[in-house]
Amino acid sequence: MDIAHLMQRAEEFYAEIALEYYNNYAGLSDEFRIVEIVGKYPELFSRETYDEVMALEPDGQAGIDERELKLLRYFVTGNYFTAETKYLVEEKEKKEAALTVEHKGEKLAYRSVPVVNANEEDVRVRRELDGKALAALDGELNPLYEQIFEKLHALTGELGYENYTDLTGQLTGLRLEWLRDTMQRFVRETNNLYREALDEYAWTLLGLRLGELAQCDIGRLMRADTFDPMFSQERMVPVLKDTLSGLGIDLDAQENVALDLESRPKKSPRAFCVGIRVPQDIRLVLTPIGGAQDYSTLFHEAGHVEFYAHMDAKLPFLYRHEGDTSVHENFAFLLQYLTTDPAWLEDVLDRVRFDDYVRFSRFNKLYMLRRYATKLDYEYGFWPNYDLDAARRTYREKLTGTLLFKYPSKRALSDFDQGYYVAKYLQAWLAEAAIRKHLRGEFGRKWYRNAKAGDWLRTVWAEGQKYDIHELLAHFGLPKLSYKPALDDIREHLG
Ligand SMILES: [Zn+2]
């Protein structure tokens, strides 16, 4: 088997599908041709390639070592799943993009409902709109989700695994059970802290009592627009450039990074990053609007951009594109949480009063950690006890029980992270708090103003995703992954 040729084709496929994604979400094209593009690369998606790769021996004739072979096996498995579900996924994407609901006498895009509800002050209007979105989801999209889940479940059996959880554990080495149990302890340890903070914020920001909250109120609660005046639209990009310059990164001079800041009618309102060729062509797309959430998203995506942009071009394809995405998310969080760091806030935003924002941001993070901990618990149990009706009930009960907002069972399949991404986010949150603590210890409270911290990051970034998150922490002599650094930070500011 010619691995070099296969990786060359994989690189070409990635460039093409990433460009398609960029053009669609940047509002330059209505098309999203998954089926057509996948069809051009049969050698990447065929069952024959899958069988050949799974039969390879590390350090055998194909000349691939154990570390790369592990990533290659996961890569071809994912590709085989893509090939088998591509029609359903494309149909779901198209349907979702075209779906509308009636709102205040006009047609509103289904996908923009969460954004509209996050800005809607009237709780009755929020509930009514969410009810329409749920009906559209259940009528139009859930039948497709069901078919996709059925297909995935059948495929894992066909490939000789007990279920998707078993497959993920065997191919990636993700310690799912350990992570689920660890995060369940986190949930139990923070029950009181969360309940008290939610009770307070629900009343002060929404005028609602605990028992009255529904899932469609979360977006409004977390929107917290009272903090928006701190984060102006005009300063958003200059502040990012200024922060990066402290780490020795001149964003304007980075020839491999393009900023797409133009506003277009169909451009996604959320910032995103796309690596078309890594590290040669990385794009950061956003429409600067301002507000705390926009800064947070911009810095998150900038973390992805800089990680991609600093990867060594000579790294094998698999270390630049595959591997443990917890590492990617961890660096995205590292920049994102600067925007909630008291040192950075007093420095960069020239404001004196941001204590309330710092406190609220820890509440937000506590909510996110508890939500993902609960989602992991739900998703971990989903595959071994595969039963879609039971899953709807379990989803509603578990999320409502932990988060104290009424979750609708109709979102049990749409609110599901493919490929156990839920676990990647959780690992990234835990690791980021440890790495940030390390950077503060080594380079000071204002570590982001220290070029040596930049050097440290660039050395790590150059390796891409060759090492997983556990190896990364061990490499820098940091303690094993745990929720302690994240919880300490939350308690320090929220407690
Ligand atoms: Zn991310």
Q: pLDDT digits over 140-153, tens only?
A: 999 999 999 999 99
DSSP H or E segment with residue 258: strand 257-260
pLDDT for position 352: 60
Q: pLDDT digits over 320-378, tens only?
A: 999 999 999 999 999 999 999 999 998 887 666 789 999 999 999 999 999 999 999 99
| pLDDT of 437 higher than 90 | yes
Q: How far is Cα 296 from Cα 183, in angstroms, rounded to an integer?
A: 24
Average pLDDT, the chain: 95
Q: pLDDT digits over 49-89, tens only?
A: 999 999 999 988 888 999 999 999 999 999 999 999 999 99
Are 405 and 374 spatial neighbours (Cβ–Cβ below 8 Å)?
Answer: no
425 C-alpha to ligand 1 centroid (Å)? 8
pLDDT for position 264: 86
121 C-alpha to ligand 1 centroid (Å)? 28
Residue at token pair 């109709």: 410
Domain 176-494: give its CATH code: 1.10.1370.30
Three-class DSSP category at 228 = helix
Instruction: Quote the pTM value.
Output: 0.96
226 C-alpha to ligand 1 centroid (Å)? 25
pLDDT for position 351: 62
Q: How far is Cα 269 from Cα 290, in angstroms, rounded to an integer?
A: 12
Q: What is the dihedral of CA 432, 435, 440, 445, to 10 degrees?
A: -10
pLDDT for position 350: 65
Q: pLDDT digits over 231-263, tens only?
A: 988 999 999 999 999 999 999 999 999 999 888
432 C-alpha to ligand 1 centroid (Å)? 12
| pLDDT of 222 higher than 80 | yes
pLDDT for position 271: 84
Are 218 and 405 spatial neighbours (Cβ–Cβ below 8 Å)?
Answer: yes
Other Cβ atoms closer than 10 A to 192 = 9
pLDDT for position 61: 87
Partners of 258 in the beta sheet?
283
124 C-alpha to ligand 1 centroid (Å)? 33
Q: How far is Cα 261 from Cα 271, in angstroms, rounded to an integer?
A: 10
232 C-alpha to ligand 1 centroid (Å)? 23
| pLDDT of 289 higher than 90 | no
Region 90-104 average pLDDT? 92
pLDDT for position 451: 95
486 C-alpha to ligand 1 centroid (Å)? 18
CA atoms within 13 A on the CB side of 158: 13
CA-to-CA dists, residue 150 to 38, 79, 386, angstroms: 21, 17, 9
Are 291 and 346 spatial neighbours (Cβ–Cβ below 8 Å)?
Answer: no
User: Which pair of structure tokens corresponds to residue 487?
Assistant: 């919880």
Is 477 buried (19+), middle (13-18) or exposed (0-12) by CB count in 10 A? exposed
Q: Tell me the domain boundaries of the chain.
A: 3-172, 176-494
Are 428 and 307 spatial neighbours (Cβ–Cβ below 8 Å)?
Answer: no
51 C-alpha to ligand 1 centroid (Å)? 32
331 C-alpha to ligand 1 centroid (Å)? 9
Is 329 buried (19+), middle (13-18) or exposed (0-12) by CB count in 10 A? buried
Is 320 buried (19+), middle (13-18) or exposed (0-12) by CB count in 10 A? buried
423 C-alpha to ligand 1 centroid (Å)? 13
332 C-alpha to ligand 1 centroid (Å)? 6
Residue at token pair 């506003």: 263
Pick the more confident residue, 123 or 353: 123
pLDDT for position 91: 94
